[in-house]
């Protein structure tokens, strides 16, 4: 386990686990959101995003946090040896994402490149504006997508680890130690 892709629904715990794994393995932790979301939430152009992701994935060891299945996922998985898939129950994810979003909004926490979550997005039902709506709409999509990916012969070079609860995540960290 030296090149790990951590995927799953927003708010599931991907970033926390990715940071912990990277620390234990003494490899860089890369958040795809930090590459993609430029100042003012402007997305990095697709070709530039792919080039940056390809550059970080060329390294010998890393933990890359994020989905981006259509644009960057194949670049990451081509070099990865392990996919850690967060597949928590929707109710757990929703509780976590709401609490996290409220904490980020109230503390004015900077996420990436000066970007911060906003109150108006908290109340939005548009998945393109609200990470909460995004998590709700993508939960079943990601479950189906990653179940299929784990069975796809094209991914036979990858070890898939499904995380169904925090205890699974803790066991993975302990095993990595």
Residue written as token pair 């995004």: 134
Domain count, the chain: 1
Percent of the chain at pLDDT > 70 equals 100
Give the model's pLDDT for residue 103: 94
Residue 129 has pLDDT above 90, yes or no: no
Residue 117 has pLDDT above 80, yes or no: yes
Q: Which stretch of DSSP H or E encloses residue 6?
A: strand 3-8
Give the model's pLDDT for residue 71: 77
CATH of the domain at 7: 3.40.50.300
Strands of 29-104, DSSP E: 29-31, 37-38, 42-43, 62-65, 82-86
First to last CA, the chain: 11
Give the model's pLDDT for residue 79: 95
Contacts of 47 (CB under 8 A, 6+ apart): none
- And the tokens for 25? 């393995």
Q: Which stretch of DSSP H or E encloses residue 35?
A: helix 32-36
Residue 68 pairs in a beta bridge with none
Give the model's pLDDT for residue 120: 82
Give the model's pLDDT for residue 126: 82
Residue 174, helix vs strand vs coil:
helix
HSE of 87, CA atoms in CB hemisphere, 13 A: 17
Percent of the chain at pLDDT > 90 equals 82
Identify the domain containing residue 170 by its residue range: 3-176
- pLDDT tens figures, 53-106: 999 999 999 999 999 877 787 899 999 999 999 999 999 999 999 999 999 999
Give the model's pLDDT for residue 69: 79
Average pLDDT over residues 109-124: 87
């Amino acid at each position: 386990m030296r090149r790990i892709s951590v995927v799953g629904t927003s708010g599931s715990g991907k970033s926390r686990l990715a940071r912990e794994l990277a620390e234990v393995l003494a490899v860089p932790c890369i958040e795809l959101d930090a590459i993609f979301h430029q100042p003012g939430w402007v997305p990095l152009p697709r070709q530039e995003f792919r080039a940056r992701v390809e550059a970080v994935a060329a390294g010998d060891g890393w933990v890359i946090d994020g989905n981006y299945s259509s644009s960057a996922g194949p670049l990451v998985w081509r070099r990865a040896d392990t996919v850690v898939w967060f597949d928590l129950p929707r109710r757990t994810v929703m509780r976590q994402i709401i609490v996290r979003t409220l904490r980020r909004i109230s503390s004015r926490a900077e996420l990436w490149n000066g970007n911060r979550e906003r109150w108006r997005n908290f109340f939005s039902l548009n998945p393109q504006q609200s990470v909460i709506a995004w998590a709700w709409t993508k939960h079943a999509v990601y479950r189906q997508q990653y179940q299929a990916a784990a069975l796809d012969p094209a991914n036979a070079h990858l070890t898939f680890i499904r995380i169904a609860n925090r205890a699974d995540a803790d066991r993975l960290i302990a095993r990595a130690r």
